[in-house]
Amino acid sequence: MIQRRPFGRTGHLSTATLFGAAALARASQDDADRALETLLRYGVNHIDTAARYGDSELRIGPWMARHRKDFFLATKTGSRTGKEARDDIHRSLERLRVDHVDLIQLHSLGHPDDWDVAMGPGGALEACVRAREEKLARFIGVTGHGWTIAAMHRRSLARHDFDAVLLPYNFFMAQDARYREAFEAVLAVCRERNVAVQVIKSIARGPWATTERRHTTWYQPLEAQADIDRAVHWALGTLPSVHLNTAGDLTLLPKVLEAADRLERRPSDEAMAEMLKTERMTSLFGLPT
């Protein structure tokens, strides 16, 4: 079974790998139900979805009648104003068929203009706080992508005492000194405050180099089990208190979970550098800024 780690201050022991339910965006219910069986087989007990993940919430909804107690359930609102975010939250609860979620997150809050609206008067943050007061959500988080998101998360944590953050991290990104330092700085704040940290894109290889896409991820992932093992073991071994979200593709789900289930030791930087070279791993987000 996959090891469990405290999910920040929430009191929940979440599996080291969380189910990234973007993988259900275009899935049938039958495919989703097979994914559920995979999650249960590996003991995964945390689902991370979003209002903007296609049909993901609709696919999860039927599971909740029997399995609500088995999962820490997180979703996100990508809206920036309070009114739109409130609408998102209520719609998510209906689609998920639950009366509350464990974690509501501000989705992809990386652009300064979006940040000003969401964090300002009448913004999405106020809607999330209200949802918590009304017991529609237990905790509040913030997520994002790109080279500047670690610095933006520090700004967000200075504005509000969030319970969780989510951002990308992998061996390729860690080679950029500025991003690594910004990531480590936000990680230090989170450790001090006992804020849960979730990482994404751990098995990203780079942008799709061909029009023939074999997976539903928007980026080209690593595919060989040995490569996925190295990437997952490096992330979970380098960051022993952090949680890793699985990739947005159902065919990769068992490979990532199998890697996490066999977590033993962190691969050497030399082994990771060799994989970076042989797999030609590149940036998903353009040049670092």
Domain presence at residue 154: yes
CATH of the domain at 140: 3.20.20.100
Mean pLDDT of 64-84: 98
Q: Please write the tens of the pLDDT for every residue from 250-275.
A: 999 999 999 999 998 899 999 999 99
> How high is the pLDDT of residue 264?
85
Domain presence at residue 285: no
Better-scored residue on pLDDT, 212 or 150 = 150
> How high is the pLDDT of residue 212?
81
> How high is the pLDDT of residue 1?
85
Residues 107, 79: Cα–Cα separation, whole Å: 8
Residue 277 has pLDDT above 90, yes or no: yes
Domain presence at residue 54: yes
> How high is the pLDDT of residue 287?
81
Domain presence at residue 43: yes
For 244, the domain range is: 4-278
Looking at the 3D structure of the chain, how many domains does it have?
1
Q: Please write the tens of the pLDDT for every residue from 3-27.
A: 999 999 999 999 999 999 999 999 9
Reference 226, options 234, 216, 218; nearest CA is 234
Mean pLDDT of 113-126: 98
> How high is the pLDDT of residue 122?
98
181-190 CB contacts, 8 Å cutoff, 24+ apart: 182/150, 182/151, 182/154, 183/150, 185/150, 185/154, 186/150, 186/151, 186/153, 186/154, 186/157, 187/239, 187/242, 189/154, 189/157, 190/8, 190/157, 190/165
Domain presence at residue 287: no
**Which segments within 68-210 are labelled E, that is strand?**
72-77, 101-106, 137-143, 164-168, 196-200, 204-206
pTM recorded for the entire structure = 0.97
Domain presence at residue 50: yes
> How high is the pLDDT of residue 288?
85
Domain presence at residue 32: yes
Percent with pLDDT over 90 in the chain: 96
